[in-house]
Amino acid sequence: MADVQVTDNSEQSRFEAHVGGELAGFAAYETADDLIMFTHTEVFDAFEGEGVGSALARGALDAVRADGTRQVLPRCAFIRGWIEKHPDYQDLVDSTF
């Protein structure tokens, strides 16, 4: 598994995963007052199968939890599926979803 660094690039409205300083993937989002909607997650081909997607989902959701001001709308199939496999993140999902 790669050593993945996840950061919030708020100017581009996406969480980014970097491996060895290189952009490996991202999770795009849109925000409203008390919601963050994940719309698309992409891991670049060169980093497929190295745990980048999982690290990206965990890092993004941990950042949302730490901020504490928003609930998650997981419109992105990858983020939605990741949350389903990790029930300890279910509390972040907006109840209307």
**Sites in the chain below the pLDDT cut of 70:** 1-2
Domain boundaries in the chain? 4-92
Tell me which residue of 50, 48, 30 sits closest to 39, measured CA to CA.
30
Q: DSSP state, 93?
A: B
Choosing among 3.40.630.30, 3.40.50.300, 3.90.105.10, 3.20.20.70, the CATH entry for 4-92 is 3.40.630.30
Bridge-partner residues for 68, per DSSP? none
pLDDT digits (tens, 9 = 90+) for 14-30: 999 999 999 999 999 99
Predicted local distance difference test score (pLDDT) of residue 1 = 62
**96 φ, ψ to 5°?**
-85, -10
Q: How far apart are CA 26 and CA 63, in angstroms?
A: 14
Predicted local distance difference test score (pLDDT) of residue 45 = 96
Predicted local distance difference test score (pLDDT) of residue 84 = 96
Q: What is the pTM of this model?
A: 0.94
